[in-house]
Amino acid sequence: MNGDAHEPPMPRAADAPPPVSDPRLRTPAAASLLRPDWPAAPGVHALTTLRGPHGHSQDAYARFNMGVHAGDDPRRVLDNRRDLAAGARLPSSPHWLQQVHGVRVHEVRCPRPFVRDADDAAPDADAPAADAAITRVPGAVLAILTADCLPVLFAARDGRAVGAAHAGWRGLAAGVLEATLRELAVPPTGIFTWIGPGIGAACYEVDARVREAFLVRDADADADAAFAATRPGHWHCDLALLARLRLRRAGVTDVYGGGFDTFGDARFYSYRRDGARSGRMATLIWMEP
């Protein structure tokens, strides 16, 4: 994937991540970042973390796990997050969410300052329960955690607003993408969207409950194209196609990304492949301060 055309400025000393004594934590994390290939405005920056090669998590979580609620050692997760901030040259600390597979959209109104180790004892304790976030504030960093569900990014063409959504099948069927668009309050034709790494159709078998959530409850006949019969009562489900269909139905004409498979590609974490002890990737978006 291509990198952004312009690198964000280095954080000011007062806002930079706290220095660390362990030299391992200064190892560049650039090799563990994937940048979206989309025509967002030059001042919009985005990325998805990979599973490695950089990182401090061990065993099933190796190596660059960003999720603190999957059973990993919280200190290692915080080490990974500090390396992410330094390696991606983030202008502020990410705004994390407590994701619940719903449709609530949290508006971020200010950048979050970097904090010292002593303040990190309960990471994400103040995170709001939501599955999407938007901001119109330069320097505020939005963050979504995934490990098979789709991260979907939004950027206004003029670079004045951005958003990020966590979209598994429940969120897609309930309308989390449409809710994010409403909160952005930008005409759909004035938005670029990018669908990040999620489980691929060939690896994602679902039952009738999932299919009916789109074809029956949502009355979306076009969604039938996202399901391919496997065995009786089961189908392969193309989450990325469902997201594209929802975005286009909402009027978005510029949809990029897709084509990833977190289950089949060892660069990514996958809950379905690795079980409850799977780590999490982080997908971030922000506007240059």
Amino acid at 94: P
pLDDT at 115: 77
pLDDT at 24: 40
Residue with tokens 């050692």: 73
pTM, two decimals, is: 0.89
Identify the burial level of 170 via C-beta atoms within 10 angstroms of its C-beta, where 0-12 means exposed, 13-18 middle and 19 or more buried. Answer: middle
- Which residues, 6+ apart, have CB-to-CB distance to 97 below 8 Å? 106, 127, 128, 129, 130, 131, 132, 133, 143, 144, 145, 166
Q: Which two three-digit tokens encode residue 187? A: 């005409």
Assign domain 33-118+125-287 to its CATH architecture.
4-Layer Sandwich (3.60)
- Domain boundaries along the sequence of the chain: 33-118+125-287
pLDDT at 28: 72
Do 114 and 146 contact (CB within 8 A), yes or no?
no
- Which residues, 6+ apart, have CB-to-CB distance to 3 below 8 Å? 35
Cα 191 from chain centroid? 17
Do 252 and 128 contact (CB within 8 A), yes or no?
no
pLDDT at 122: 63
Per-residue confidence in pLDDT tens, the chain, 289 aa: 333 333 333 333 233 333 333 444 445 798 999 999 999 999 999 999 999 999 999 999 999 999 999 899 999 999 999 999 999 999 999 999 999 999 999 999 999 999 765 444 567 888 999 999 999 999 999 999 999 999 999 999 999 999 999 999 999 999 999 999 999 999 999 999 999 999 999 999 999 999 999 998 777 889 999 999 999 999 999 999 999 999 999 999 999 999 999 999 999 999 999 999 999 999 999 999 9
